[in-house]
A and B are shown apart, each in its own frame.
Chain A
Amino acid sequence: MRYLPKSPQDREQMLREIGAASIDELFSHIPDEYRLNRDLKVTRQLAESEIVDYFQQRAAECAAGYANFLGAGAYNHYRPVVVDSLISRGEFFTAYTPYQAEIAQGTLQAIFEFQSMICELTGMEVANASMYDGSTAVPEAVMMAMRITGRSGAVVARSLHPEYREVLGTYSKYQGIPVATVPFLANGRVDLNALDQAISNQTACAVIQSPNFFGTIEDVVAVADLVHKKGALLVVSIAEAISLGIVKPPAEADIVAMEAQSFGVPLGFGGPYAGVIATREKFVRQIPGRLVGQTVDQQGHRGFVLTLATREQHIKREKATSNICTNQALVATMATIFMTIYGREGFKELAEHNLAKAHYAAQQFGKKAKVLFEGAPRFNEFVVQSSEDPHVINNRLLAKNIIGGFPLQKFYPELGNAAVWCCTEMITREQIDAAAQAVAQ
């Protein structure tokens, strides 16, 4: 086997030195009846060329080369070549968690930069080293809010990503956390009156997404005001992080639970992505997941370490803030490189392009179909309601090598024949015109 660096002679010599007659002797303490005395029914060894060939064939069955109007929690942004070039260095991708700080300063400094940039972009004071993804960041944020407030329930906007809500549902169901859902208004924003009524003196937090699942930007200031008056915390989820280039950050929130996939992370059929929790300094000891902190070595040189580990499972065991034992370090590094490439000016320009494309597209679609949720600002997504089932429209578009918007019947049947469309900088005017025409047919 080509990955194994031993000759048959090496193996024999090692067995001799151990004093074992055969390799099976080293497995002899596994009771006979459980030993597998046959070959596993998996493939024979494949040559590298065969492996590449297999995956190329599978890739060919996956719509490569199609223009893609899907967003809905996974965004198709251009990934500068530099990102993969750098994270392909073995020193980054074949390193372990940086527990041995002296020989892990590369990962640690990159994550410290990640935390710093997330703070700059979100308006928060501290950010963790990343966690699984945006969906699991939501229940982690809710549990964090419960620890801070000593209260036990959450109120969630129905315009929060439906799959995020499902994940929260799984976590909350088995911990007995009551979760109430609040509807949206005709302008796509959360219904403030309903929110006001839903928050009780036992509500730990309200969770909204902005831009929300329909692309609508919430009035975070007004929501925060209301939530805080009731003594609860505000959690703001961000699924499309590029919005932060041009949309005011949710600085009034207490916890930001975001997805960083838009920052140079491939769509990859849904993962791996990277979630992040950012919050206020005063809540730092309740934040889940790893944190990198700055310190000095014995000579006074600046260096970085994993810190505040007493929150974590390997120290606190069943009393930890979370059972999480991983961050998405490599994905966070990708995001850091991406954020650095665009930087202070590029981020804004990139976000403006998204805004302009989506605005143009909404205008085109609006000529023959109905664009819902007018009256509140949007970023790069919008909802189109048509006379036809969006699946039918999407099938028609496939012939033009276009993947249409995400049909909403499954999650929002009340919206009828509606779909949420996304226009990133990757979409051309030609593609928008072609799609708009198909909707109007």
Chain B
Amino acid sequence: MSDKQIKKVRPHPSQSEGLIFEKSSPGKKAYKLPPLDVPQVDAAKLLGSAQRQDLGNMPEVSEFEIIRHFTRLSTWNYAIDLGMYPLGSCTMKYNARVNEAVARIAGLANAHPYQPEKMSQGALRILKLLSDYLLEITGMEAITLQPAAGAHGEMTGILLIRAYLESKGNPRKKILIPDSAHGTNPATAAICGYTVENLKSNSAGMVDVSALAAQMNEDVAGIMLTNPNTLGIFEEEIHKIADILHEKGGLLYMDGANMNALVGKTRPGDFGVDVMHLNLHKTFSTPHGGGGPGSGPVACKKHLEPFLPVPVVITKPDGSLGFNYDRPKAIGRVRMFYGNFGMHVRALAYIMANGYDGLRLTTEDAVLNANYIRKKLEDVYEVPYKTPSMHEVILSHHRQARQGVKTGDIAKRLIDYGFHPYTTAFPLIVADHGAMMIEPTESESKEEMDLFIEAMRAIAEEAQNEPETILKAPHTTRVSRLDEVTAARRPILRWKPEKT
């Protein structure tokens, strides 16, 4: 039966939920405070001209309306809980429920960051154990859990390099960044006071080592390298890269965004990396939450340890744990308190649930899944770099583009098949902005992946026979393609009451 045959007086209310402000009317309440047990005060007298008179258009609604409103909104989201989320470089894996449960245990959730150290031993032990585990996993020698996200970790790591080089007399001028890198890398280098120099990839999709050797000189502070890189390719000559840098006094920074391909199989600390960040919200399963919070610990080798931000967790002579603030060479603080502790709790719970064998099997399954998808799609989509894939596979729209169907269109059509799109048009080095970057993670069953493969193959066929269907996709969502041009040209960034 089509929609036309079913008579409806209006769209279903769950699909046409308005803004919360539009549900507001004076006198509705969703709160109840207990009686005040101290004398009431005259705010006007206490605050004088600093007293606020009213709260403008803040909504007034009842509790159940709030439940309905946000529940309805939630149903308009795709989520990893609903299906495969093959966003390359984002590592959308299962977010275990026990992680959520333990992060909400009262003693941890209600711990104040300034409560005395002797009353915070449990939290400190969590920070210490997670630090120890992450050092073992990365093969590094010192760590800070303070950075709030991946890009924040990048900034912290590059500042460590800067402070280290400054201590040797010259912070240098440039950071080399491969053309396949995430946009955060060049933005980070700039925020740390460095200029960015592009590093070319070779035809295998890896850093061109001879070009690097030619580019490397005493002006170069370091290189920011993602490994496996954003093409999902392991930089096989990583140690040569490290050697070339180290010989001229530069340092190797590794963007750990793709660590899900390495855990338990190889360690950055063993292949020459000086400093790196981890994305706990990728590799270690803390939830993405619709765009944050993340957490971006930075691990480094011993020579960078004196520069780590304050404070660091130490074991005191009496065996208890504490924070050490007395670190004269430290770069300073990058965030107040100790970082996104709630994410640290979740990441530790993830490591515990996996154990050493589960972590390794996780990596193996992630790589197995990516290669399976590659094998099952390589006859219909072009594989622009033939080098073996690790945890993600990069296809291109090259063949489909002849029918006018591009990576972004195929992505939108995937939505109709019940999947979240892969990452589109990134990395930028794939010709014609045609990249389709697919990272299934270990969390997908063979059955789910077979459905995804079937969808991708069906879309490839549609590209041949009925490209229009793809170009107008998605067809099944609550809203169709949104007008982004007008949104940017005449920005409406907040609700305002209609003028009466």
Contact = CB atoms under 8 A, between A and B. Distances in A.
Given A271-B339, A301-B479, A175 B39 contact: no
Given A59-B122, A271-B293, A26 B356 contact: no
A330 B266 CA distance: 33
A72 B359 CA distance: 39
Contacts of A15: 368
A286 interface: no
B494 A116 contact: yes
A167 B351 CA distance: 30
Contacts of A357: 38
Interface residues of B, number: 196
Given A40-B264, A62-B123, A100-B421, A246 B52 contact: yes
21 contacts: A11-B365, A11-B368, A18-B368, A28-B388, A45-B355, A96-B420, A100-B411, A103-B76, A112-B495, A116-B19, A120-B58, A130-B292, A169-B332, A174-B331, A271-B148, A271-B343, A294-B492, A295-B492, A297-B480, A323-B191, A355-B46
Interface string B484-497: 10111001111100
Interface in B106-133: 106-116, 119-123, 125-126, 133
B329 interface: no
Given A109-B76, A270-B336, A343-B58, A293 B111 contact: no
Interface string A71-89: 0111010001010111011
B63 interface: yes
Given A40-B359, A343-B30, A167 B332 contact: yes
A265 to B, nearest CB: 9
B100 interface: yes
A97 B290 contact: yes
Nearest to B147: A132
Contacts of A314: 182-184, 426
Interface string A117-135: 1011100011101101111
B342 interface: yes
A155 interface: no
B74 A307 contact: no
B52 A244 contact: yes
Given A74-B112, A100-B411, 5 more contacts: A20-B371, A56-B107, A85-B67, A340-B69, A350-B31
A303 interface: yes
Residue among A117, A303, A317, A403 with max Cβ neighbours from chain B (10 Å): A317
Contacts of A297: 479-483
B292 A377 contact: no
Interface in A364-379: 377-378
B349 A51 contact: yes
B443 interface: yes
Contacts of B480: 102, 297-299, 301
B478 to A, nearest CB: 6
A193 interface: no
B63 A341 contact: yes
Interface string B53-89: 1111111110100110111011111111110010100
B395 interface: no
A347 interface: yes
Interface in A279-315: 284, 290-299, 301, 303-305, 307-310, 312-315
A295 B81 contact: no
B149 interface: yes
A88 to B, nearest CB: 7
A393 interface: no
A36 to B, nearest CB: 6
B102 A323 contact: no
B415 interface: yes
A105 B478 contact: yes
Contact of A163 (B104, B150, B337): B337
B361 interface: yes
